[in-house]
Structure 1
Amino acid sequence: MSRTAIIILGATSAIAQQYARLQAERGARLLLVGRDSERLAEIAADLTLRGAETVEIPDMDLTAPTDGYQAAWTSLASRLGERLDIVLLAYGALGHQDAAEADPAETVRLLNANMVSACAWLTAAANHLERQGHGTIAAIASVAGDRGRRSNYVYGAAKGGLALFMEGLTHRLAGTPVRVLTVKPGLVDTPMTDDMNKNGPLWATPAKVAADIDKAIARGRTVLYTPWFWRPIMLVIRCLPRVLFHRLRL
């Protein structure tokens, strides 16, 4: 029986690591892509001990522009063999809203890190899986993309754009064996959010989010709010009249 073959883009993220651990315990074949080679090596060693059949760790800056996304993707995928089962895109940058407002170049950096480069890699992955006739593509967006808010609208715009792209990709691949999952986490206790106040019941752990992603892929879901309560919360926020919404400091 062939083991599940998985590519994780942005494998050093806390959520990605937890997801990789779940798959390693099932003996998966993993390819972890990131730009921190030393950290990737540490993660790979841990996953091997947990039972992964193979762990490949090509180091690459996924946000760096290139003219050869499809060729680069083909080279990555070939390292796992002929069959690829799951692609998880997990990288991104929260940044600081005030810095983006002060410097248009920072706005461009955040849009590229969270949306533009991600959409390029997702296109390459979709082309590969469509030709293969099998597989699942999952990408981590954010509830921040559901409505623009003064506190993080640059990050939110990028993640909202990514979610809209994934919606279109879902439509494109409808009727094919390829599945597409858009993941919308809420507040997650990761190093990326270390400068935020983490008190309160809305915070989730990376392990919780990873487990939810794993279940959603297995069930063929197309959109996942994680934890579940973010779906009704964001529904309320999206439906607030503009006059009332503008009075809130969100």
Structure 2
Amino acid sequence: MRRIVVFGATSAIAAAVIARFAARGDRLHLVGRDPARLAAVASTCNSNELTTAVADFTDTDHAAALVEAARTALGGAIDLVLVAHGDLGDQARSEHDYSEAERLLRVNLLSVIALLIPLADLLARQGSGQIAVMSSVAGDRGRPRNYTYGAAKGALTIYLQGLRSRLYPLGIVVTTLKLGPVDTPMTTGHAKNSLFTTPTRLAPAIVRAIDRQTRRGREVYLPWYWRPILAIVRNTPEPLFQRLRFLSGR
């Protein structure tokens, strides 16, 4: 039984992952912004080894307190942290309205870092543990359709690279989950294609990736086919990239 805290527990992807953790008997502490949705996620777990807390992750001044509350709720130690919150936001608005651009950076980057700082310190004191964070393939290259969100996720991925190397000598594992597009309420207004997956199909792959990285940690593309796709996207020269509308278009 692992002692697991999930930040962003009310997202559709996190909820599907949580159900799998609960089914195998893990002890869970779930943190989410919406009380009703958090209660709904908790009610599907059918577990006595579960606690919840409501929090606004953009209130970064209270991030350390959230981490300490999670440690206490789990009996004094944390084996695994899953950070799953984020927001695609309004790309078009963020191009002309600084407040929207700032909000996206705060939700997708700064609020995560605010949690990672006390979490890393806690696990370092323990001398064990794993941090898994949901990032995105959108961070691999800036594209007009989502570059504000992508910039936040790209910066988060780089931050996690540094954190992974910092914590490696201490035996702390950091896993970056680079997710492709998923059919969730967050992508309701987006046109779907064959590359989209669903939370139900993605959850087993996320759990397997986390379990397999318990000794070393790394960046994992999910679903797997995004690794070769993004290798091409990242390495396409910019003059060509800009002429290929299926890559650089809206």
Do Structure 1 and Structure 2 share a fold, with TM-score over 0.5? yes
The TM-score with structure 2 as length reference comes to: 0.94
**1:14 counterpart residue number:** 12
CA distance in structure 2 between the aligned counterparts of 1:11 and 1:71, rounded to whole angstroms? 17
**Cα offset, 1:42, TM superposition:** 1.5
CA distance in structure 1 between the aligned counterparts of 2:128 and 2:4, rounded to whole angstroms? 13
**2:209 counterpart residue number:** 216
Match for 1:248: what amino acid?
A: L
**2:60 counterpart residue number:** 65
- The alignment partner of 2:44 has SS state of helix
**2:236 counterpart residue number:** 240
- The alignment partner of 2:227 has SS state of helix
CA distance in structure 1 between the aligned counterparts of 2:48 and 2:65, rounded to whole angstroms? 26
Do the aligned partners of 2:127 and 2:171 also contact (CA within 8 Å) in 1? yes
Do the aligned partners of 1:24 and 1:53 also contact (CA within 8 Å) in 2? no
- Give CA-to-partner distance per residue, 1:217-241, whole Å, 9 cap, x none: 2111411101111011111011001
**Cα offset, 1:65, TM superposition:** 3.0
CA distance in structure 2 between the aligned counterparts of 1:170 and 1:8, rounded to whole angstroms? 19
Do the aligned partners of 2:57 and 2:63 also contact (CA within 8 Å) in 1? no
CA distance in structure 1 between the aligned counterparts of 2:65 and 2:40, rounded to whole angstroms? 28
**Cα offset, 1:190, TM superposition:** 0.7
**Cα offset, 1:192, TM superposition:** 0.4
- The alignment partner of 2:177 has SS state of strand
**Percent same amino acid at aligned positions?**
44
Larger mean Cα displacement after TM superposition, 228-237 or 214-223 = 214-223
- Give CA-to-partner distance per residue, 1:97-135, whole Å, 9 cap, x none: 101012001000000000011111012111111111111
How many residues of Structure 1 are paired with residues of Structure 2 in the alignment?
A: 243
The TM-score with structure 1 as length reference comes to: 0.94
- The alignment partner of 1:32 has SS state of strand
**Cα offset, 1:174, TM superposition:** 1.3
Structure 1 unmatched ranges of 5 or more:
none
**Cα offset, 1:248, TM superposition:** 2.7
Structure 2 unmatched ranges of 5 or more:
none
CA distance in structure 2 between the aligned counterparts of 1:209 and 1:162, rounded to whole angstroms? 21
Do the aligned partners of 1:28 and 1:53 also contact (CA within 8 Å) in 2? no
CA distance in structure 1 between the aligned counterparts of 2:51 and 2:19, rounded to whole angstroms? 14
Runs of 4+ in 1 over 3 A off after TM superposition: none
CA distance in structure 2 between the aligned counterparts of 1:213 and 1:222, rounded to whole angstroms? 13
